[in-house]
């Protein structure tokens, strides 16, 4: 099975005890770490968990129902890219 990839923007802020990171495009996905590498790894792991959990929840909601599932693309202006 082919796996799709999606790119997001991670932002890291220097904090008193390390770094805080969040994903600009995904509200509520934030993490922290003592180093930027730790913050980066934690943020990526959390984003993956949220995606898998949301997919599992969606599968439960649509189980046994006739659905249409399709991908879509969002175009970003040059200023946003």
The structure's pTM equals 0.76
Q: State the pLDDT at residue 81.
A: 55
- Chain-centroid distance, C-alpha 18: 21
Q: How confident is the model at residue 75 (pLDDT cuts 50, 70, 90)?
A: confident
Q: State the pLDDT at residue 72.
A: 86
Six token digits for residue 2: 């082919």
Q: 68 is in which domain, residue-wise? A: 1-81
State the CB neighbour count (10 A cutoff) for residue 46.
17
* Digit-coded pLDDT (tens) for 6-53: 888 999 999 999 999 999 988 999 999 999 999 999 999 999 999 899
The number of distinct structural domains making up the chain is 1
Q: Answer for the pair 38, 18: CB distance below 8 angstroms, yes or no.
A: yes
Domain CATH for 38: 3.30.160
Q: State the pLDDT at residue 40.
A: 97
List helix spans (H) across 1-81. 36-62
Q: State the pLDDT at residue 78.
A: 66
């Amino acid at each position: 099975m082919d796996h799709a990839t999606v790119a997001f923007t991670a932002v890291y802020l220097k904090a008193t005890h390390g770094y805080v990171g969040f994903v600009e495009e995904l509200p509520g996905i934030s993490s922290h770490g003592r180093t930027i590498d730790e913050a980066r790894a934690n943020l990526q792991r959390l984003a993956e968990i949220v995606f898998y959990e949301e997919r599992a929840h969606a599968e439960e909601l649509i189980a046994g129902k006739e659905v249409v599932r399709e991908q879509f693309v969002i175009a970003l202006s040059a200023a946003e890219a």
